[in-house]
Structure 1
Amino acid sequence: MSGQAVLGVEKARFLYGANRVFDSVSLQLDAARTALVGENGAGKSTLLKCLLGELELDEGQIIKSRGLKIGYVPQDVPPGLGDKTVREVLESALPHTDGGEDWKVDVLLDEIGVSYETAQQTFGSLSGGWQRLMLIAAAAKLAQPDLLILDEPTNHLDLSNINTLEGWLADDDRLPMLIVSHDREFLERTTTRTIFLRSDGAHSFGVPFSRAREQLLHRDAADAVRRQLEGKEIERLEKVAARYRVWGVKNDAFHKRAKATEKRIDRIETERTESYVARERRLELHDGEIDAKVALRVQGHTVTIPDGSRKLFTIDRLNVAAGDRIAILGVNGAGKSMLLNALARAYDPDQEHYDGQAAVRFNPQARLVYFDQKMAELPLRTSLLDYLVAVDGATTKDANALLAKAGFPYHRIKGPIADLS
C-alpha cells in the first residue's frame, strides 16, 4: 500500500460488563510516529485490540484505509511459538512463503548477532527479552507493514537491545507507528506525536512526550482555574437569585429577574468546564522486621539454564543486608531471571530442609515475596480482594483500604485478576 497509513476511531466507547473502560475517544493515526500514553487500566491495550478488530466497540466506529496492512507486537508472546525454532518464527513473518525471501532472515540474524546454533534453538528457550526483540524484528524488518503497532516494546529488553530497537526505528522513519509504552525516554527518542488516553477521552499533541505532557498539564491547570471561577460565579448568582425571589413576592419585575438569573445559572452549569483529576496511587514498600543484619547469603552458587545443561555464571560470595535494595543488570540471556528463580526455589519458609552449608541461605526471619516476569504464580481466576486477604492475612476492610490506596477502582477488586491490565 502506498501513501499515508490511516487508522483511527471516532466517538469510541468500550464497556467491560457494566463498567466503562473508555468513552468518547476519537483519534486518527497518520504518517507520524505516535505514542499512546495512559495510566494502568486506562484501556490502551483494549483500544489497540479494537483498532485491530480483535474486540468490538460498544459505540463509535473504526476508520481504516482500504488495504491497510498492520504489523502488531503484543505485550505477551503469542501462544504456539515456544516449540518452533527461532528461524521458523522469523520466516513466518515474511509476506511470501515460497522461500524466495529467506535471505532476509539471514541478513536480520546477522544484524542482530544471532549465531546459527541459536537460530536453530526453540523460541521458548530464549529469554523474555530476546523473544520480544525477535518478534519486533519480524514485524518491523520482515513483514513490510504499512503501520506498525507496538505494545510495551521495551518490556524485558536490556539497554543494549533497547538501543538496537531504537536504531531500527530510526533507520526507516517512513514507517508509521503507534507505540504504547511507560518508558518515557524511549518515547522521547522514537516518537514525534503523543496521545494521552484518559477517562475524559483522547488528547492529542503534535510533539514528543515531555513537551506534550507539559502542554497537557498546563491545559489541565487552566481548566481547573476556569472551573473554579465558574463555581464562584454560580455561587454569586445563586445569592442574587435568592434576593430577587424574596423581593419578587410583591414585585413581578424582581420575580422575572430571579427566573432570568436561574436560567443563567443553568447555562453556566451545562457548559461548565470539565476539570480532569488523576486518581491518586500510592504503593509503599516497607522493610521487613529482621533483627539480624544479613537477610540472605549466597556462596559458590552456579546459575544454569533450566535443564542444567549449560552454566551461565557463578556467584562466589554475596551478602544481602536487611534493608538493601538491589538492582540486577545484565544483557538479555545473561541469567537474571534464572538467578531470581533459583533464589525463590531455595527459600524454605518452614525451615523443613534448612542446610547451614547450602549455597543459598536465607535468614530464618526473612520473608520472601517473588514476582516473575510472567507472574505465573498469580491465581488468575481469583479476585484481587480474595487474593490479598489470603496471602497477607488481612481483613477484608484492611485489604479494601490498601487496594484503594494503590489506585484500584472499587469495581475492579472483586473481579478476577486475569481481567486487570
Structure 2
Amino acid sequence: MIRLDNIGKQNGHQIVFIEAGATLNRGEKVGLVGPNGAGKTTLFRMIIGEEQPDEGTVAVDRGVTIGYFSQDVGEMSGHSAVAEVMNGAGPVSEVGAELKALEAAMQDPERADEMDEIIERYGEVQARFESLDGYALEGRAREVLAGLSFTQEMMDGDVGALSGGWKMRVALARVLLMRPDAMLLDEPSNHLDLESLIWLEEFLKGYEGVLLMTSHDREFMNRVVRKVVEIDGGALTTYTGDLEFYEQQRALNERQQQAQFDRQQAMLAKEMRFIERFKARASHAAQVQSRVKQIDKIERVEPPKRRQTVTFEFAPAPRSGEDVVSLKSVRKGYGSRRIYDGLDFQVRRRERWCVMGINGAGKSTLLKLVAGAAEPDAGSVSVGGSVKMGYFAQHAMDLLKGERTVFQTLEDSFPQASQGSLRSLAGCFGFSGDDVEKRCRVLSGGEKARLVMALMLYDPPNFLVLDEPTNHLDMATKEMLITALAQYEGAMLFVSHDRRFLAALSNRVLELTPDGIHAYGGGYTEYVERTGQEAPGLRV
C-alpha cells in the first residue's frame, strides 16, 4: 500500500534519511521508533504529501485513503464535539453535507422551478449516503467519543470550550471514525486516561487497514504493533515482531556487530604488528606489501551505534515517621457535586499507593487534598512528623519563569550546588549540550515536565505525590524514572495511566468507584490478577 524507496532527506544541516526504504502492507500494525529528532514526524509528513523527499520516492497505491493524527490539532470551535468528529469522517461527511443542503433547497420556495432537478439529485445523494452507512454515522461518532471517555454533555457541548487534551481526543476520534485505509497516529496515547487507552488498544487491534504509529507508552505499543520500523542514523530498519521482540533483536544485533568489530580490530592489529616489525627488512618486502594491500581491501566493520542512556540516583531522603499522611472523615465537593463523603485513608512509610478510578472519580482531588492544594469541606488531613513532601502536578509546569533558562532555573533552586552536579542532573532529565540554555517559555510540554521533575527529585522529599508524572515523557526518560523510583525508600501516592509505571512502582492500590472506595494490598499487578480488570470496570 505504501512504499518508501531510497529516500533521502535533509533538514538544514541535519541529514534525516539516507537511501532509506520500508514497505507498509494492508493489515500490518507498525510501530515507528527512534530517538527524539530522528525524523518520525518528517516520515509521517512525507507519506501524506506535506513534505517531499530530496531523493527517492514515496508511493501510495491509487485510491488509498489516509488518516493522520498529529499533536497539532488546529483550531476547533463553533461546533459540538460530535459534529466536529463527523465532519472529519471523509467522503461520508461530504455527502451528508450535500444531503442537508438539498433538504434545505427543497424547502426554499424561491427554488420551486428547480425542484425536479433537486429531487432527482437528492435521490442520488441519499442512495450514496446510505451505501456509506451515513445514517449510522452519528451513532458511531458517539460510540468512539464514549470510548475516549466523553460524557454526553461533552459530546454535545461546544468543542471550543474543551481543554487542549480533550481537543486532542476529538482530533483522534475524527481519524478513528473515518476508518481510512491507512492510519498514521503520532503519539495517540498522549492525554488519554487508562480506560480510554485500553479502549483504543482494542479498537486498533480490530482495525483492518495499515497502521503506522508512534507512542511513548511501552505497554500500549507492545500490545498493538506486530512490526517495528526503526529510524536511526538516517536508515530505516524493519523488524517483524512486537516491541519486545524488536528490543531483544536489536540488542542481539548490537552484540553480534560488536563481536565482529572486535574480531576485525584484533586481526588488523595483528597484521599491523607484522607490517611494523618487518617493513624495514628487504627479505620481507613482498610479504609486507601483500598484507598492506589485503588490509586496504578489507571492508571495515563499524561498531554499533551507542544509544545514550541516562541514569539518575536519588540522594538518600530523610526518614519520615511511620504515619505519613492521614485523612479522617473527609468531605469534598464542587458545587452540588459530592466527590468524597466521610473518606478515611492513611499512607504509612514506604507504602506506594497508586490511585485508580474513571474520569471524575476524584483521583486528582485526593492528591490535591493530601498536598494541601485543596481544602476539605469537612474532616481533617494531617501530615505526619518529619514528612517532606514533593508534589508533581500538571499546573506546576505553569509556575516556571519564562525568561529563565533551564540551567538558571536549576541554579535558582539549588544555589549551593556545583555546576557539574547541576549539569549532570540536567543531562539525566534529557537536557544536554545547548538544551540547558533554552528559556523556559520555549520548552515543550515534555521538556517542562522533565524540568519540574528534576527540581523535585534533586533534593529528594520522603513523600512523593505524583499526578500523571509520565505525561509527555519519552520511553527512555520513563525507564530512567522507573529505575530511579524503584530504589526510592520514601512513601508514594500517585496517579498514572502508564501500566508499566503502575506495575513497577506500586505496592498498594486505592480504587475509587461509584460503589465506594476499595483498598488492595499488593501492587497493580496483583490488583489486575485479583479483580480481572486493568482499570475499574474494564475486564481483562
Same structural fold, with TM-score higher than 0.5 when normalized by the shorter chain = yes
- Contact in 2 for aligned 1:166/1:190 (Cα 8 Å): yes
Equivalents in 1 of 2:395, 2:56: separation in Å? 35
Equivalents in 1 of 2:401, 2:52: separation in Å? 27
**C-alpha distance 126-204 of structure 1, shift in aligned 2 (>3 A):** same
Equivalents in 2 of 1:108, 1:391: separation in Å? 48
Deviation at residue 140 of structure 1 after TM alignment: 1.6
Is the counterpart of residue 280 in structure 1 residue 309 in structure 2? yes
Deviations 1:240-299 (A, max 9, x none): 11012132xxx2x6345434433433443x522341322222133556425444444444
1:28 to 18, 23, 26: 23
1:104 to 109, 121, 137: 137
Q: Secondary structure at 1:271's aligned position in 2?
A: coil
Deviation at residue 385 of structure 1 after TM alignment: 2.8
Is the counterpart of residue 215 in structure 1 residue 245 in structure 2? no
- Contact in 2 for aligned 1:10/1:61 (Cα 8 Å): yes
Deviation at residue 234 of structure 1 after TM alignment: 1.2
Deviation at residue 345 of structure 1 after TM alignment: 6.2
Is the counterpart of residue 261 in structure 1 residue 296 in structure 2? no
So what's the TM-score if we normalise by structure 1? 0.77
What is the one-letter code of the residue matched to 1:277? Answer: R
What is the one-letter code of the residue matched to 1:282? Answer: T
- Structure 1 unaligned segments of length 5 or more: list them: 348-353
Deviation at residue 313 of structure 1 after TM alignment: 4.0
**C-alpha distance 14-360 of structure 1, shift in aligned 2 (>3 A):** farther
Structure 2 equivalent of residue 388 of structure 1 = 410
Deviation at residue 104 of structure 1 after TM alignment: 0.6
So what's the TM-score if we normalise by structure 2? 0.62
Structure 2 equivalent of residue 351 of structure 1 = none
- Contact in 2 for aligned 1:133/1:165 (Cα 8 Å): no
1:228 to 250, 253, 262: 262
Is the counterpart of residue 399 in structure 1 residue 432 in structure 2? no
Structure 1 equivalent of residue 114 of structure 2 = none
1:289 to 318, 322, 325: 318
**C-alpha distance 275-193 of structure 1, shift in aligned 2 (>3 A):** same
- Contact in 2 for aligned 1:11/1:60 (Cα 8 Å): yes
Q: Secondary structure at 1:318's aligned position in 2?
A: strand
Equivalents in 1 of 2:50, 2:222: separation in Å? 29
Equivalents in 2 of 1:387, 1:102: separation in Å? 56
**C-alpha distance 200-243 of structure 1, shift in aligned 2 (>3 A):** farther
Equivalents in 1 of 2:78, 2:349: separation in Å? 42
Deviation at residue 375 of structure 1 after TM alignment: 4.5
**C-alpha distance 319-54 of structure 1, shift in aligned 2 (>3 A):** farther
Equivalents in 2 of 1:117, 1:229: separation in Å? 67
**C-alpha distance 28-126 of structure 1, shift in aligned 2 (>3 A):** same
Deviations 1:50-82 (A, max 9, x none): 54455676x5456142665421222x4724337
**C-alpha distance 129-304 of structure 1, shift in aligned 2 (>3 A):** farther
**C-alpha distance 374-404 of structure 1, shift in aligned 2 (>3 A):** closer
- Contact in 1 for aligned 2:8/2:16 (Cα 8 Å): no
% identity of equivalent residues: 21
Q: Secondary structure at 1:177's aligned position in 2?
A: strand
What is the one-letter code of the residue matched to 1:389? Answer: E
2:343 to 295, 316, 320: 316
In the comparison of the two structures, how many residue pairs are matched? 398
Equivalents in 1 of 2:342, 2:293: separation in Å? 76
What is the one-letter code of the residue matched to 2:250? Answer: L
Q: Secondary structure at 1:150's aligned position in 2?
A: strand
Deviation at residue 333 of structure 1 after TM alignment: 4.0
Deviations 1:342-386 (A, max 9, x none): 655628xxxxxx99x984455685242424289444557754333
Q: Secondary structure at 2:357's aligned position in 1?
A: coil
Equivalents in 1 of 2:19, 2:406: separation in Å? 29
Structure 1 equivalent of residue 354 of structure 2 = 327
2:188 to 144, 147, 153: 153
Please state which structure has a larger fraction of its residues in helix: 2
- Contact in 2 for aligned 1:288/1:367 (Cα 8 Å): no
Q: Secondary structure at 1:149's aligned position in 2?
A: strand
Q: Which moved more, 1:396-405 or 1:120-129?
A: 120-129
Deviation at residue 124 of structure 1 after TM alignment: 6.6
Equivalents in 1 of 2:167, 2:222: separation in Å? 24
- Structure 2 unaligned segments of length 5 or more: list them: 101-128, 448-473, 475-540
State the Cα RMSD in Å.
3.9
Deviation at residue 176 of structure 1 after TM alignment: 0.9
